[in-house]
Amino acid sequence: MSTTLPASHRPTLSRDQLLKYIANVYQCAHSEAESQLRELQELIRLDPLRGLTQLQQRHLASMAFSNLVLHYSQHHSISLDPDVLFHKLVERGLGGYCVENTGFFSSVLRTLGFKFYTSAGRVSKGFEQNVDTGEYNGWGHMIIIVTIGQDKYVVDVGFGPNGQTRPLLLKHGAISPRIAPAEARLVKESIAANTDSEQKPWIFQIRTHPQEKWKPAYCFYEIEFLPGDYEAMNFVTSQNPRSIFTKALICAKFLLNQAKDDIVGSVSIVRATVKRNLNGNVEILQSLRNEGERVDALKNLFNIHLQPLEIRGIRGKTTELEDTTAVAF
DSSP state for residue 209 in the 8-state scheme: S
Is the predicted pLDDT of residue 128 greater than 80, yes or no? Answer: no
The answer as to whether 91 is a domain residue is yes
The answer as to whether 278 is a domain residue is no
Number of domains in the chain: 1
- 75 belongs to the catalytic site: no
Question: Could you tell me the pLDDT band of residue 9, with boundaries at 50, 70 and 90?
Answer: confident
Question: Could you tell me the pLDDT band of residue 132, with boundaries at 50, 70 and 90?
Answer: confident
Question: CB–CB of 293/282 below 8 Å?
Answer: no
The answer as to whether 296 is a domain residue is no
Query: What's the average model confidence in pLDDT over 83-105?
Result: 98
The answer as to whether 274 is a domain residue is no
Q: Which amino acid is at 71?
A: H
Say what the pLDDT of residue 170 is: 98
Could you list the beta-strand ranges (E) of 243-311: 250-257, 262-270, 273-278, 281-287
Q: Which amino acid is at 164?
A: Q
The answer as to whether 270 is a domain residue is no
The answer as to whether 1 is a domain residue is no
Q: Find the catalytic residue in 28, 30, 59, 98.
A: 98
Could you list the beta-strand ranges (E) of the chain: 65-66, 115-124, 136-148, 151-155, 168-169, 175-177, 183-188, 202-207, 215-220, 250-257, 262-270, 273-278, 281-287
> How do residues 278-307 score in pLDDT, each as one tens digit?
999 999 999 999 999 999 999 999 999 999
Question: CB–CB of 186/121 below 8 Å?
Answer: no
> How do residues 23-42 score in pLDDT, each as one tens digit?
999 999 999 999 999 999 99
The answer as to whether 323 is a domain residue is no
The answer as to whether 144 is a domain residue is yes
Say what the pLDDT of residue 133 is: 84
- 323 belongs to the catalytic site: no
Question: Could you tell me the pLDDT band of residue 328, with boundaries at 50, 70 and 90?
Answer: very low
Q: Find the catalytic residue in 141, 219, 229, 251.
A: 141
- b/e sequence 255-285, b meaning 16+ C-beta within 10 Å: bbeeeeebbbbbbbbeebebbbbeeeeeeee
- Residue-range definition of the domain harbouring residue 130: 10-243
Q: What CATH number did the domain enclosing 161 receive?
A: 3.30.2140.20
Is the predicted pLDDT of residue 313 greater than 90, yes or no? Answer: yes
> How do residues 39-54 score in pLDDT, each as one tens digit?
999 999 999 999 999 9
- 156 belongs to the catalytic site: yes
